[in-house]
């Protein structure tokens, strides 16, 4: 197989003895391995589909990557699946229809990324029961859309849709080997066979010799080429293997019509791609067996990048099998034998420099990096363990400067105006003169009356003021200054300097030449003459902020005359007199309790070195405004979530060079960057649905993005992703189910779940943002149709409605029949009462009157008795008429009641000569009264009129009756004598009135007083 040949080439490369001295890289690589979900660390091919997913071929399966997770596809024996888990080198390509063509050791597959199913391409060698000749080359597509690929003995042309193909015999065949075709922009099809290069004329359908050794050209120099690259300018490059006359990079010469060896070192190249710098110059990236190289064809400069085991963001190591350049994102993907890697300009915000010693072990604890005051290309770095390092940035070389007496525990340094370097350490202060390359130790003048110092001085803080004087701060013994006359360090005369544990943490001079000192007692400021001092405090601090939080704090004086001071959980901006102008806390932008270094860039932005993230603060913005803070995170495990910041040391300052670049010290090196050049990822990330589950069962996805939920489909889970591969862990999502959700739901999760959706049509709208907060507001949508269950359908509801209406109508008809039957009974009772009892009472009245006339002269004492019988019969007959009227069914209206009430009142008042004024509000609403309501209303009225006529001695009775809605108001008022309710014995009359009012859910109100008449007011609701 081809793999055997590659092992042979690798052996030749090993014995060639070629070696390039590697330098540490300013470039950070993002790395992924099987620990992150890859099916294998040996990657053979890379491709991006039309949607933007990254497809990764390995020797153990196919992977789809969305920036955070891998979905693995493996051969299962299914006819629409992978023929083999081993994907050939460069074996993934895409066509104009969106299909993914997969070349494996067991044949070729056309794969649909949407449905995740494929069609195997039948080839003769797949039928011969021999497994060592089933592999195919990658498929390349020409301008007309035809695909071209090879097997061990043929060149094929295939139509991507119909799969119709045509075969052409190769000039010669080699078992277990296939030539890889290459189509350039001019339509030329190149094929490199063993030690010879051909070009296939697609019109004449024949092969043309280009160069190399074959049976027709036995005397030509062998030329073995495996991979080609066409640059944007149209230049063709390839690389020759050890089987050729010489190892190296070759460029096609259009005049000589063959490839010519390019003047580069003899590097064994496995793959290559092209990239462009900011100035437009071309760079070739060359993959090799244990490193990669950047090569500039114009200058012929070759820069290697190798793996640093201690650096998780270095090149992963192993052989680089494939490059994939993403023209949209400018990411260069690397497929290696040690996993997947990405060189991502949108993720790496900061450059980096790893410090290595001569034995390839890193020097830890870089304290400070400063630019040389004379030479722009020279920088000085201080390490805590080994002293100074000189970095020549132009030559990219490091030189360790070892002092005669090692500066153990070096903490800080400065370079004075003469170019001399002053290094503060655990043991005191040393100087280094770059021109003479000489070290010198500065002595300390002992204190009077003491043998000071008897302990380590710890002098990490150094500053040169405007007059040229060197000031040194100690972590134990206070403030010192250098006396050039005595060539000694002297203690500044301050009362606290004589006390133990007086700490100086930072020194800075302001524009008025006053010296500011951050101490463990607060901020101390010396005047320009260094004679007087004052302790500074803040005025106007918000509640909850303690100005005594000096632990892990620093300060900075900016060029606008502002004093910036940090404490635990806060940052204060104040003027030089301590008046607080602005406060920043964890509530309005800070994400860390401790700030160790503050530096101002050329734009006036402040950079804060914290224990968690690097903060960029724009002082022109107020808290709450967008863009107040920007954050940059540290490298951790090489995943896409960091900005390439190395792990920093506590209390290290941020420094700035003359061109405006900032330098941040770290444990294993340092970062550097120019704030104005920081790249923001402005690419709008595409959003796609990745999986749909109904009741936890995966459903097929298609391009329509529609789904139907049937009765019983209670749970819908939709997975989605955004294809932003730069710091993908910072991606954010927002989704909303139109017709269900009232607001957008913002989350970092990539799934949305809904349960028990009501029948109807919905639209799930998903948006996403990239690592720098750029949103794809258009997003993607899923149309959801929920089919109702039979009991939720309109016809079922209509049927139930009709059934309910039928039942209600039946009940109504039944009640009407019952009411009619009850009315007949009531009418019959009324008729019987009138005909039987009424006639009997009339007979009694008549007979008593007749007998009264007959015995008036004979038994005059019996006449009163007979008259009483006649009167009682008349009264009883009248009451019976009232009862008959009450129960008759044809007199249930309120107007019938009013007529009877008027009739009764007129009859009674006219007999006594009383004026009756009855006012009735008209018209009445159509109200039907029950028997109980008619009876009680009438009896209340009758009793009230009777009482007024018999007992009030009135001359006028006023009756007012009105109806508002279903509320009846009845007021009966006379102008009689009235009575005192408190001194009048109550009979049954008033209690009966109240009882009858309660029976019809009404109330009686009585108003009376001696000489003021009486009024009775009834309020009742007619139901």
Residue-wise pLDDT for 124-173, tens only, equals: 887 776 767 788 999 999 999 999 999 999 999 999 999 999 999 999 98
Residue range 62-91: average pLDDT?
A: 94
- From 64-68, 191-195, 544-548, the region with the lowest mean pLDDT: 544-548
* CB distance 273 to 282 below 8 Å: no
Which is higher by pLDDT, 396 or 821?
Answer: 396
pLDDT at residue number 357:
53
Q: Locate all alpha helices (DSSP H) within 833-893, ordered by sequence.
A: 838-854, 863-887
Which is higher by pLDDT, 897 or 473?
Answer: 473
Give 56's pLDDT tier (boundaries 50, 70, 90).
very high
Give 734's pLDDT tier (boundaries 50, 70, 90).
very high
330, 336, 341, 342: CA torsion to nearest 10: -10
- From 56-60, 198-202, 312-316, 525-529, the region with the lowest mean pLDDT: 312-316
Determine the Cα–Cα distance for residues 566 and 157; give it in Å rounded to an integer: 70
pLDDT at residue number 668:
75
- From 32-41, 62-71, 379-388, 482-491, the region with the lowest mean pLDDT: 379-388
612: left (phi over 0), alpha (psi -120 to 50) or beta: alpha
Give 454's pLDDT tier (boundaries 50, 70, 90).
very low
Instruction: Look at residue 991 and tell me whether its pLDDT is greater than 80.
Output: yes
Cis amide prior to 603 (ω within 30 degrees): no
Q: 197-214, pLDDT tens digit by residue?
A: 999 998 899 999 999 989
* CB distance 855 to 861 below 8 Å: no
| Tokens 């309910």, located at residue | 804
Residue range 5-28: average pLDDT?
A: 44
Instruction: Look at residue 445 and tell me whether its pLDDT is greater than 70.
Output: no
Give 19's pLDDT tier (boundaries 50, 70, 90).
very low
pLDDT at residue number 830:
63
- Highest mean pLDDT among 419-433, 685-699, 887-901 belongs to 685-699
Q: Report DSSP state, residue 834.
A: I
Phi and psi at residue 205, to the nearest 5°: 60, 45
Q: Which among 549, 457, 536 is positioned nearest to 503, based on CA atoms?
A: 457
Determine the Cα–Cα distance for residues 355 and 348; give it in Å rounded to an integer: 19
* CB distance 732 to 768 below 8 Å: yes
Strand, coil or helix: 66: coil
What is the pTM (predicted TM-score) of this model? 0.73
pLDDT at residue number 531:
85
| β-strand partners of 960 | 919, 971
Q: Report DSSP state, residue 730.
A: G
The rounded mean pLDDT for the chain is 84
Q: Which among 783, 724, 505 is positioned nearest to 54, based on CA atoms?
A: 724
782: left (phi over 0), alpha (psi -120 to 50) or beta: beta
pLDDT at residue number 924:
64
Using a pLDDT cut of 70, give the percent of the chain over it. 86
Q: 342-376, pLDDT tens digit by residue?
A: 999 888 778 888 776 544 444 557 889 999 999 99
pLDDT at residue number 12:
38
Q: Which among 593, 488, 508, 521 is positioned nearest to 556, based on CA atoms?
A: 508
Give 391's pLDDT tier (boundaries 50, 70, 90).
very high
Strand, coil or helix: 578: coil
Determine the Cα–Cα distance for residues 167 and 165; give it in Å rounded to an integer: 7
Q: Are strands 154-158 and 165-169 parallel, antiparallel or unpaired?
A: antiparallel
Q: Which among 778, 758, 759 is positioned nearest to 769, based on CA atoms?
A: 778
pLDDT at residue number 14:
34
Instruction: Look at residue 269 and tell me whether its pLDDT is greater than 60.
Output: yes
pLDDT at residue number 750:
95
Which is higher by pLDDT, 824 or 217?
Answer: 217
In the chain the first and final C-alpha atoms are separated, in Å, by: 99
**HEC states along 536-563?**
ECCECCCCCCCCCCCCCCCEEECCCCCE
pLDDT at residue number 7:
38
Phi and psi at residue 980, to the nearest 5°: -95, 115
pLDDT at residue number 472:
92
Determine the Cα–Cα distance for residues 828 and 822; give it in Å rounded to an integer: 10
Which is higher by pLDDT, 978 or 100?
Answer: 100
Give 22's pLDDT tier (boundaries 50, 70, 90).
very low
Instruction: Look at residue 855 and tell me whether its pLDDT is greater than 70.
Output: yes
Q: Which among 512, 361, 518, 507 is positioned nearest to 422, based on CA atoms?
A: 507
Instruction: Look at residue 23 and tell me whether its pLDDT is greater than 90.
Output: no
| Tokens 């990557």, located at residue | 65
């Amino acid at each position: 197989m081809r793999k055997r040949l590659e092992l042979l080439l690798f052996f030749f490369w090993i014995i060639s003895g070629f070696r390039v001295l590697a330098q540490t890289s300013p470039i950070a690589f993002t790395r992924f391995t099987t620990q992150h979900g890859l099916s294998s660390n040996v990657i053979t091919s890379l491709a991006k589909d039309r949607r933007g997913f990254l497809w990764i071929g390995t020797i153990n399966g196919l992977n789809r990557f969305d920036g955070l997770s891998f979905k693995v596809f493996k051969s299962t024996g299914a006819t629409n699946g992978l023929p083999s888990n081993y994907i050939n080198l460069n074996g993934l390509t895409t066509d104009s229809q969106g299909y993914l063509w997969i070349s494996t050791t067991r044949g070729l597959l056309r794969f649909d990324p949407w449905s995740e199913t494929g069609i195997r391409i039948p080839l003769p060698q797949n039928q011969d029961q021999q497994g060592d000749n089933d592999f195919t080359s990658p498929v390349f597509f020409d301008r007309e859309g035809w695909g071209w690929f090879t097997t061990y003995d043929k060149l094929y042309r295939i139509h991507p849709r119909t799969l119709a193909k045509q075969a052409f015999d190769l000039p010669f065949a080699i078992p277990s080997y296939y030539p890889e075709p290459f189509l350039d922009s001019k339509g030329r099809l190149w094929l490199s066979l063993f030690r010879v290069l051909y070009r296939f004329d697609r019109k004449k359908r024949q092969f043309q010799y280009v160069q190399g050794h074959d049976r027709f050209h036995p005397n030509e120099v062998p030329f073995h080429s495996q991979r080609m690259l066409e640059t944007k300018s149209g230049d063709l490059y390839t690389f020759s293997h050890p089987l050729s006359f010489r190892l190296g990079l070759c460029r096609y010469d259009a005049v000589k019509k063959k490839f010519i060896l390019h003047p580069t070192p003899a590097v064994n190249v496995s793959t290559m791609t092209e990239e462009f710098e900011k100035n437009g110059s071309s760079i070739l990236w060359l993959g090799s067996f244990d490193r990669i190289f950047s090569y500039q064809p114009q200058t012929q400069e070759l820069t290697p990048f190798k793996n640093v085991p201690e650096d998780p963001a270095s090149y992963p190591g192993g052989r680089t099998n494939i490059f994939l350049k993403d023209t949209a994102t400018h990411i260069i993907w690397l497929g290696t034998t040690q996993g997947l890697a990405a060189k991502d300009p949108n993720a790496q915000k900061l450059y980096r420099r790893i410090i290595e010693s001569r034995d390839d072990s890193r020097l830890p604890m870089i304290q400070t990096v400063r630019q040389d005051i004379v030479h722009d290309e020279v920088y000085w770095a201080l390490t805590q363990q080994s002293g100074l390092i000189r970095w020549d940035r132009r030559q990219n070389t490091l030189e360790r400067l070892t002092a005669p007496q090692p500066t153990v525990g070096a903490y800080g340094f400065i370079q004075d105006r003469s170019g001399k370097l002053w290094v503060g350490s655990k043991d005191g202060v040393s100087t280094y003169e770059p021109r003479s390359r000489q070290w010198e130790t500065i002595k300390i003048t002992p204190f009077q009356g003491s043998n000071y110092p008897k302990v380590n001085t710890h002098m990490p803080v150094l500053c040169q003021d405007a007059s040229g004087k060197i000031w040194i701060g100690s972590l134990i013994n206070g403030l010192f200054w250098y006396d050039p006359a005595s060539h000694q360090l002297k203690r500044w005369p301050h009362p606290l300097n004589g006390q133990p544990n007086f700490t100086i943490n930072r020194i800075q001079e302001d524009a008025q030449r006053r010296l500011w000192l951050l101490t463990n007692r607060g901020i101390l400021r010396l005047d320009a003459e260094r004679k007087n001092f004052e302790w500074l405090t803040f005025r106007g601090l918000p509640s909850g902020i303690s100005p005594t939080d000096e632990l892990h704090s620093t300060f900075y004086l900016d060029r606008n005359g502002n004093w910036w001071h940090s404490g635990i959980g806060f940052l204060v901006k104040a003027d030089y007199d301590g008046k607080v102008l602005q406060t920043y806390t964890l509530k309005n932008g800070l994400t860390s309790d401790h700030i160790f270094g503050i530096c101002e860039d050329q734009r006036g932005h402040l950079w804060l070195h914290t224990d968690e993230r690097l903060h960029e603060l724009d002082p022109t913005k107020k808290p709450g405004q967008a863009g107040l803070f920007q954050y940059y995170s540290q490298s951790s495990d090489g995943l896409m979530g960091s900005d390439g910041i190395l792990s920093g040391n506590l209390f290290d300052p941020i420094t700035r060079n003359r061109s405006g670049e900032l330098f941040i010290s770290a444990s294993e090196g340092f970062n550097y960057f120019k704030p104005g050049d920081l790249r923001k990822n402005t690419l709008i990330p595409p959003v796609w649905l990745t999986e749909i589950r109904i009741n936890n069962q995966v459903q097929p996805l298609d391009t329509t993005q529609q789904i139907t939920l049937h009765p019983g489909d209670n749970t819908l889970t939709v997975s989605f992703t955004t294809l932003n591969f730069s710091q993908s862990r910072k991606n954010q999502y927002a989704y909303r189910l139109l017709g269900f959700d009232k607001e957008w739901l913002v989350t970092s999760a990539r799934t949305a779940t809904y349960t028990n959706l009501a029948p109807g049509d919905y639209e799930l709208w998903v948006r996403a943002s990239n690592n720098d907060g750029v949103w794809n507001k258009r997003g993607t949508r899923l149309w959801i149709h929920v089919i109702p269950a039979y009991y939720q359908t309109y016809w079922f509801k209509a049927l139930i409605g009709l059934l309910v209406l039928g039942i209600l109508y039946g009940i109504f008809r039944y009640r009407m029949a019952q009411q009619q039957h009850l009315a007949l009974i009531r009418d019959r009772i009324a008729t019987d009462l009138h005909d039987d009892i009424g006639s009997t009472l009339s007979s009694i009245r008549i007979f008593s009157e007749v007998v009264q006339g007959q015995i008036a002269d004979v038994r005059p004492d019996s006449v009163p008795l007979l008259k009483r019988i006649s009167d009682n019969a008349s009264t009883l007959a009248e009451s019976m008429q009232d009862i008959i009227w009450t129960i008759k069914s044809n007199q249930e209206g309120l107007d019938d009641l009013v007529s009877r009430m008027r009739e009764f009142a007129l009859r009674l008042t006219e007999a006594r000569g009383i004026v009756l004024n009855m006012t009735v509000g008209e018209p009445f609403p159509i109200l039907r009264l029950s028997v109980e309501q008619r009876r009680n209303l009438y009896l209340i009225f009758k009793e009230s009129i009777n009482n007024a006529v018999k007992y009030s001695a009135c001359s006028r009775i006023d009756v007012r009756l009105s109806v508002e809605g279903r509320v009846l108001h009845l007021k009966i008022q006379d102008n009689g004598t009235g009575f005192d309710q408190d001194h009048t014995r109550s009979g049954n009359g008033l209690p009966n009135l109240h009882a009858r009012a309660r029976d019809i859910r009404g109330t009686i109100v009585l108003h009376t007083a001696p000489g003021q008449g009486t009024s009775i007011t009834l309020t009742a609701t007619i139901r």
